[in-house]
Structures are given as C-alpha cells and as structure tokens.
Chain A
C-alpha cells in the first residue's frame, strides 16, 4: 500500500515569523519578532514569539497571544496547542493555566498542563536553519522558505529547504553509493514518500549530484531509488527495497547500474526457531547468475564463554558461455552446482597479561562443486587491545588464512606449473599482523595510525596478494561547531609502484 497516506501530506500547520530558527538536534523551531500560525482546521494563533516542538507536535505562542477559530477568539499571555488544533491551553498571569473548549467559549483550570508551555532557552546562533516561513507535516517533515544555513563564515541561502525527521525505516534508506560528503536537500515529502537532491563528493571521482526517491509503506517496507551524475564520471543508479514478511521474515532487493554493468539481487530471509534461512538470487547483464540457499544457526553459547554458529548452503552459479574458462569444454560447464558448510567459533573477550584484552576466532569452511572441485578455507584471528591511558589505546592482531582450491585430477589444468599469476598449485596462505595506535582527544577528535605487515602466498608486485607493508593514518576533527571532517591515507612503501596510495579518504559530517 505504497502512498496510501499521501493524502495527509498537506501541512498540518504553517508558521510565519519575523525570524524562524530551526534546531535539528532537538527538532524545535523558535520564532522571534512575531509569530503567526495557521492550522489545518482553520485556527489562527499569533503572538510575539513561539516555540514548536516537532517531536510532540506542539507549539507555544508567547506574548500578547491570541487565537481565533470560527467566531471564537481567545486571548492570553501565552497559548499552548497541539498542531492539529484539538487541544488548546491558555496561560494568564492573573489566573494561571486553563484548558479551553473547542469553541473557545469556556476555560477550565488546568494547573497540571505546565509542560505544554515549554520554551527552551537556546541561542539563535546554534540554529541549523534560519527562515521566515515553515510548513509542518506532523511526524514527517518541515519545509522552510526562504532558508539559510548559519555558519561562522556566513549563511548560505536557498529558496526552500525540506527537512525530513521521520524515523521510519524507509526514510533511513538510500540507494546511492557511500560518499565522502553527502548533503541531502529535500524537495518533496509525504508520510509515505521522500524526494531528495544530494550534493555529494565521491572519493577518487569528485563532486557529484544525486537524486533519491523513497517510497515507504505502512508495514515498514520501502523502495529507495537513486541516480547520480558525477561531474567527472559516468551516471550511476541504484535501487533497493525491503519489506518484512510476517514477524520473522523479510525480502530485500538491490539493483545497480554503473559503468555498463547492471546487476540485481533478490533475497529472502526467514527465521525458524534458532535458525535463519536465506535465499539470495543474483543476476548481471554479463550473463552471470547465482542462487544460494543457506541455513545458519544463530550464535550459540558453547560453554566457557565460547560462541559459535554453523551454516550450510546449497545453490548454483551460471555463466553464459561457461563458468570455468579453463575447463576442457567451457560451454558444457555453464552451470555449476555447489553445497557447503561453514563453522565459526569465537572466544569471549578475556583479560590477558600486561592489562591486555584478548579475543580469538576460527572459521572453517568447505564448498563442493559439481564440476568437480572443492574449496577449503580455514581462518584464525587473534586480536588484542591495551588501553595506555584515558585517550590512547593500542590494538594488535594476527590473522592467518589458509585455502585450498582443489580440482581432482585436473589441478595442473587450472593451476599450471608455469610462473603465471596463478602459477601456484591452488594452495594459498594469507598472514597479516597489525599494530594500531588510536588517540581519542574527545568528541569528534581522534587520530589512528595503523601498521600492517602482510605475508601472503602468492604475493607478487602488480599480480596478487597484499602490500607487504602498509601504514595508514586517519584523523577526525571538528573545525567548526556544526561541521566535522575526517581524513585518511595509506602509504604502501612502493608496492605496485605506489608509495602513497592515490587518493585520500575524506568525509564531512555535521
């Protein structure tokens, strides 16, 4: 029932004031130098100043407050009301608080209604948006006209700004790829739909303009679509959707198109007792498709603080023209079936020597294919941390992964002995040791420096494996009160000809 409530999209209240200040973190609007409300039921409320509590759909008008509805007029030193106009309270310095009837004809004392007259003491300079008019759709959005964004360096103006504060799942979805910076600019909103323009910056690509459209149903499902046009790059688009199926199931859809590659994935999830089943189907425009049904236990306590889960899977992969290009007759192998098992164990966090905190995991899997082929993998991870002082923490770890890609009686066909990129026999080892130091100076201020030492087989420049040595640094800081910035960059000591890995990781947040 997408859009079934779209008829409710008309604003429940319009507010005009000499100056309006919107505070995003408290979802409050303060009106100064005059305030005038027009409610959807025809009630007019005016006064010297006003505060709107968008979380609770309430407002207070203070100073020479007056409300009119039909032929009735109400005057007071302050008037508090619900935005739907059904409940109105008046505050008088001579009689205290009274609740008013629908016709504004009589008032009953209501000293317990003081909470309705909340008017927070917030400096104008802390506002996120400054405007002259606001159109409020309860529990959904507020549209400001004309709007400006006060900063220490100025207040960039825009003719209109739509701020959406609905917290339903569909509003919290995006089909746009992650960006280093993403400033949404709401264009249109109803309780069941949201259209936003996104001003973005993509790492390695540059500035980009995105458009997102979310459709939300009343069962917490949604479809989110997005398209973006980088200034220097190709148009990319995406779609994702989600819908609960009963109390323990869900269906999800993702699709994207980028640089000529189109792909889509459909997934079903259903919890059954202590098991979670998943069915994922994927397809691309390159002729590849796959389906995998998996059944996984939830994490179980196994004693001694150890937890673990097991999953089994069954499915296929298919490729037009053959999935295994090195097979004797690839077209005959266009579909390969598979089944597998995976066992995962995790230790609890334990206190080790020298005030360290330690943990370990082990993950073993085997997958058998119909070709015939089987793939075995075992990965163990030991990691630890030690807090050096209140702000400084040391992290360290060792990760070892062994894998074997076995083609019975045909190993040499798929892993020829020649010195090619795949010149090993199908048995790989990946070992990674890390040491990180993290310094957290306070909210929004931290530095993390990481050293990684990789010892892989195979590991060859330009060919395969990870850089033997890598240093990475991340810095997060807040140069102004309403903006934060994070930077990150890696140094690879000449691996693949790169010392500094090209491109910074940059993100900007409020």
Chain B
C-alpha cells in the first residue's frame, strides 16, 4: 500500500509558469527556482507559458508539455526548490463565481429594477439588471477570474438614480474581487433622487 502511494507520488505533475530555464534550474512565477536534473532540457520551455513539471525522487523537476491533470504550483514539494518562493505561486487564472447582494432602502418602489453599473461599460447606469431575491434584496452572480477586480456602483437605471450614503454623499465605487465563493453584500443607504 505504501509502495503504491510512493509510486503514485513519483509521477505527479505540477502546473507552473516558468520565468526562465537554465542548466541551473527553472525559475517560476512566485520567485522560486526548481532544481533540474543534470540531463534536463529546456527545449519547449517558453517564459510566461504554463508547462507541467514532474518531480523525481531526488526532488528534481523535468519540464513537459502541459498536462490537464497537473496539480497547482502551490502544491509543489519544498524539496523541489533550490530557492523556495516566499509564498505559493499565485494567479492560476481559473474562473470563479462571485455573488453580489444588494440591500436597497425600504422606501425603494416595489418592483424597481436594480442595476450594476461597472467600469467595463464606463458606468452605464443601466448596464446589468440584477435578479431579485426578496422585497429588499437583489443578487447578481458574476464569473470573474481569481484575483480579478471589478469596480461597480448600484443604480435604479439612470444617472439620476444612483446610490448615495446615509449622509447623502456619493460613495466611492464598490470593488468586487475574484475569490472562490465570495459574496459581496452592499447596503444602499439612499438614492440620489430621494427627497
């Protein structure tokens, strides 16, 4: 049983973004340098293009064409590094779905359409209509890449119906970031056309 586990571990591949490949090692995104075996070839390694590496029993990395089953670089064993990164390699580029939930003031007219105006459209006040959760809450699920950001503000569909804070001032745009399962709860205190 133990032998089988060791054998399986020996063929694990890891997805890395190489910054450079030399006979001394493979520098990867995140600042770490992987050991390479004496006979390793850097052919097929392009800086900035993801590849797969296998780690042998001595902890040396051999580059390969990208393998869909490759594990994330953050799981690389410490023994594989000639110079370990200060933190796990970041930015795998995967999509995550984030959720934005907006609570509107109780005085908002029933059935109002609520929109997100994002920086992608130059803050078009009627850009994306949100789904309604109940009488006071609206929700929108968005795909974002890990680590990505999206600046937005909440409107009722026009530039004269933009959210305001409790003091009647214009709040700075909200920022949502790409984190798996993240929910951003926004409370709209008032609207710019409140009397």
A-to-B contact residues, CB < 8 Å? 23-27, 30-32, 47-51, 55, 60, 62-65, 77-78, 91-94, 96-97, 111-123, 126, 164-165, 167-169, 171-180, 182-184, 196, 198, 212, 220, 238, 240, 242, 244, 248-250, 252, 254, 269-271, 276, 278, 292, 294, 296, 298-299, 307, 309, 311, 313, 342, 344, 346, 349, 357-359, 361, 363, 381, 383-385, 393, 395, 397, 399, 434, 436, 438, 440, 442-444, 446, 448, 450, 474, 476, 484, 486, 507, 509-510
Contact A93 B24 (CB under 8 A): yes
What chain A residues lie within 8 Å of B168 (beta carbons)? 249-250, 269-271, 276, 278
User: Given the complex, which residues of B lie within 8 Å of A269, measured CB to CB?
Assistant: 164, 167-169
B86 at the binding interface (Cβ < 8 Å): yes
Contact assessment for B15 and A172 in the assembled complex, using a CB-CB cutoff below 8 Å? no
Task: Compute the total of residue contacts between A and B using a CB distance below 8 Å.
Answer: 294
Q: Is B53 an interface residue (CB 8 A)?
A: no
Instruction: List 22 A–B pairs whose Cβ atoms lie within 8 Å, in order of A's numbering.
Output: A23-B148, A25-B144, A31-B48, A32-B48, A60-B19, A63-B19, A63-B47, A64-B20, A93-B21, A96-B33, A118-B91, A120-B90, A120-B91, A121-B50, A164-B122, A173-B123, A198-B122, A250-B168, A269-B169, A296-B195, A359-B135, A395-B132
Shortest CB-to-CB span from B38 to chain A, Å, is 14
Which residues of chain A are near B25, meaning CB under 8 Å?
93-94
Q: Is the CB of A93 within 8 A of B121?
A: no
B27 touching A91, Cβ below 8 Å: yes
A63-B47, A443-B143 known; A476 and B129 CB under 8 Å? yes
CA distance A357 to B133 in the complex (A): 10
Q: Does B101 contact A (CB under 8 A)?
A: no
Known pairs A25-B150, A63-B48; A121 contacts B20 (CB<8 A)? no
- For the complex, give the distance between the alpha carbons of A397 and B126 in Å: 25
Confirm or deny: B37 has a beta carbon within 8 angstroms of a beta carbon on chain A. no
- In the A-B complex, the 9 residue pairs with the closest CB atoms: A114-B31, A120-B91, A63-B47, A49-B48, A77-B20, A346-B106, A184-B122, A269-B168, A96-B83
Residues of B at the A interface (CB closer than 8 Å) are: 15, 17-22, 24-27, 29-33, 46-50, 82-87, 89-93, 97, 105-107, 110-111, 117, 119-129, 131-136, 141-145, 147-151, 153, 157-160, 164, 166-170, 172-173, 175, 178, 190, 192, 194-195
Instruction: Check A93–B82 contact: CB distance below 8 A.
Output: yes
Q: Give the docked Cα–Cα distance between A185 and B116 (Å).
A: 20
12 new A-B contacts at CB < 8 Å, known A63-B46, A77-B27, A111-B83: A63-B48, A114-B32, A118-B29, A121-B15, A121-B92, A167-B151, A173-B123, A296-B195, A349-B134, A349-B136, A397-B111, A476-B129
B120 / chain A contacts, CB cutoff of 8 Å: 24, 509-510
Pick from A62, A164, A220, A276: contact of B19, CB under 8 Å: A62
Asked whether, in the complex, the Cβ of A112 is within 8 Å of the Cβ of B86, the reply is yes
Q: Which of B32, B166, B167 has most chain A Cβ within 10 Å?
A: B167
A352 CB, min distance to chain B CBs, angstroms: 11
Enumerate chain A residues within 8 angstroms of B46, measured Cβ to Cβ. 48-49, 63
- B31 close to A116 (CB less than 8 A): yes
In the assembled complex, the CB of B154 is this many whole angstroms from the nearest CB of chain A, namely 11
- Does B29 lie within 8 Å of A178, measured CB to CB? no
B22 to chain A: closest CB distance in Å? 5
* Chain B neighbourhood of A27, CB < 8 A: 148-149
Residues of B within 8 A of A175 (CB): 159
Chain A residues contacting B159 (CB-CB under 8 Å) are: 173-178, 238, 240, 254
Smallest CB–CB gap between B109 and chain A, Å?
Answer: 8
Query: Given contacts A114-B31, A118-B90, A349-B135, is CB(A62)–CB(B47) below 8 Å?
Result: yes
Shortest Cβ distance from B86 into A: residue: A114
**Chain A: which residue is nearest B16 at the CB level?**
A121
Q: How far is the CB of B19 from chain A (nearest CB, A)?
A: 4
A114 B30 Cβ-Cβ under 8 A: yes
